[in-house]
Structure 1
Amino acid sequence: MSNANTFRQLHDNSTPLRLPNAWDAGSARLIEAQGAPAIATTSAGFAWALGYPDGRALPFDEVVASVRRIIRVLNVPLSVDVEHGYSDDPNTVANHVMQLVDLGIAGINIEDGPDAASLLAAKIEAIRNAVAKSGSDLFVNARSDVFLASLVDKAKQPQEAIARGELYASAGADGLFLPALVQPADIEAITSATRLPLNVMALPGLADATTLGKLGVRRLSAGSGISQIVLGKTKTLAQDFLKHGRSEALDDQPLPYGEIQGLFA
């Protein structure tokens, strides 16, 4: 069974697949070691770890290099957030994605953001054609920012999300990701109307995984949340160390050196 097919089957469960998104090879391996059945990257954390702002600014060769490092240390399937595919041209996007498929990834997230829904559909279709032509497999998770970026009036967001989900499914998407979707009634309406497994992102106010499963959600992502907490903790520790030079501050639940080394033995 291919990694992509294994990853696809993880979405066929009454309890959502939980993905505490990684941002580099070290975090990916650490998350895997906690029992994660698959790893997904966060585009924001990915960009920050490589010294770039989030939001389509990351050079694609940096993406390839980082994915290669992650694949080297993982045994479970990897899904990569490729933002908008790093191009507005569907064929170029498909080319980019195939470079990652050749490295061994199992899936991608690809977004519409401010772009027309028809453009993302064209990109998905180009990706699906390229994957089929190569004899490979890939789980394509179509991310729509209908809720996150308020692409339409609030009252129209559920129906817009459903319409986009149908468009992306027809283009060949395997899943629908709707960040900032949190209201149970909206979630239930969308899961009832779409043929794609629904992915939501952890945010304050969102129900727990068990409740989300009952609403029909099949995937729950941490997004950039864990990487932001790690960076916040780093900021606090660095400020304290610079101001006071206290060694004690560095003894606040550190991961033991030997345990970290063991991840990469």
Structure 2
Amino acid sequence: MTHDPGPAFRALHQPGNPFILANAWDAGSAKMLASLGAQAIGTSSAAHAFTLGRPDMGHVTRDEALAHAQDLIAATNLPVSGDFENGFGEAPDTCAETVRLSAEAGLAGISIEDTALPSDAPYDAALAAERIRAAASAARSLPRDFVLVARADGVMNGHYDLPEAIARIQSYEKAGADCVYIPLPPRFDDLSAICAATSLPVNALVAGPYATRSRTEFAAAGVARLSLGAALARVTHRVIHDAALQMFGNGEFDLLGQGMPGAKVDALLK
């Protein structure tokens, strides 16, 4: 590819001035988010799986994820980052190959987590760091810029505590990661401790109780990036759920009258 989205994407990562990584699930949602002000698009492994009629965590192949990412890349001129779960394999060499294939597909970066899918248990800390080291080495060997995010998911999944998560992101920093991420720490105030524990930009997930917080609050904690995960997709699923219960339960349809006008959607997609 001739265009390098990496530098523009990297420049968005400013501690204390977080940008919103708008996680989309198809070309249409990516186009709408871009038209409404998104600065960068992210894939969502869960939201993508939902579009295929599959559950979250380990049910999408690397080839499928790359093809999906290319659809989002083609939809807008914004940088796109891939939510690539555990890098699609345990071996460090697999993570490195995922980085190379992601760059070839046109992604500005990807995230790799420390979860030993298909379970939600974490990899051993030493192996987790080695996987990031291999991915970072592959990223630095590319002919263009590429932002590698290293995730410590054991707190969210209930397998290790926050001190262990912080120790892990510090090891990921030493291994060469460009950004680190501990999804949903127990308390919002933990974000400040996480940001203070690393010199790298920190990503925070805006989901669950964290969705009640403002961008200003995340900025004050020192966060550099705000990802949505599948949260926005789940909002659409809530609408489908509630409208379906109404239609099939009592034969009423008033929720369908609350949709956006077709002309407005068309305008956002042009």
Q: Which residue of 2 aligns with 1:234?
A: 240
Aligned with 1:49 (options 48, 51, 74): 51
Secondary structure of the equivalent of 2:141?
Answer: helix
Distance 1:134 1:193, change over 3 A: closer
The reply on whether 1:143 has 2:188 as its aligned counterpart is: no
Q: Which residue of 1 aligns with 2:118?
A: none
Pairs aligned (count): 260
Aligned with 2:62 (options 55, 60, 63): 60
Q: Which residue of 2 aligns with 1:257?
A: 262
Question: How many angstroms apart in 2 are the aligned matches of 1:68 and 1:204?
Answer: 29
Deviates most, 172-181 or 212-221? 212-221
The TM-score normalised by the length of structure 1 is 0.89
Distance 1:230 1:184, change over 3 A: closer
User: Could you give the per-residue CA deviations for residues 211-248 of structure 1, whole angstroms, max 9, x where no partner exists?
Assistant: 22112111222222111111111122223333455554
The answer (yes or no) to whether the contact 2:137–2:176 under 8 Å persists in 1 is no
TM-fit CA distance, 1:138: 1.0
TM-fit CA distance, 1:32: 1.2
Secondary structure of the equivalent of 1:148?
Answer: helix
User: Could you give the per-residue CA deviations for residues 144-202 of structure 1, whole angstroms, max 9, x where no partner exists?
Assistant: 113202322xxxx3322221111111111111111112524422222112111111112
Question: How many angstroms apart in 1 are the aligned matches of 2:175 and 2:208?
Answer: 32
TM-fit CA distance, 1:258: 2.7
The TM-score normalised by the length of structure 2 is 0.88
The answer (yes or no) to whether the contact 1:143–1:176 under 8 Å persists in 2 is yes
Question: How many angstroms apart in 1 are the aligned matches of 2:227 and 2:79?
Answer: 15
Q: Which residue of 2 aligns with 1:180?
A: 184
Question: How many angstroms apart in 2 are the aligned matches of 1:171 and 1:13?
Answer: 20
TM-fit CA distance, 1:104: 1.1
Distance 1:225 1:98, change over 3 A: same
TM-fit CA distance, 1:48: 0.9
Question: How many angstroms apart in 2 are the aligned matches of 1:134 and 1:170?
Answer: 19
Gaps of 5+ in 2: 116-121
Q: Which residue of 1 aligns with 2:220?
A: 214
The answer (yes or no) to whether the contact 2:139–2:148 under 8 Å persists in 1 is no
Q: Which residue of 2 aligns with 1:108?
A: 110
The alignment's C-alpha RMSD in Å is 2.1
TM-fit CA distance, 1:132: 2.9
Question: How many angstroms apart in 1 are the aligned matches of 2:187 and 2:81?
Answer: 26
The answer (yes or no) to whether the contact 1:29–1:263 under 8 Å persists in 2 is yes
The reply on whether 1:87 has 2:92 as its aligned counterpart is: no
User: Could you give the per-residue CA deviations for residues 68-125 of structure 1, whole angstroms, max 9, x where no partner exists?
Assistant: 1111111111111000011112222222232221121111111002212333322222
Gaps of 5+ in 1: none
Equivalent positions of 1:12-51 (< 5 A) are 12-51=14-53
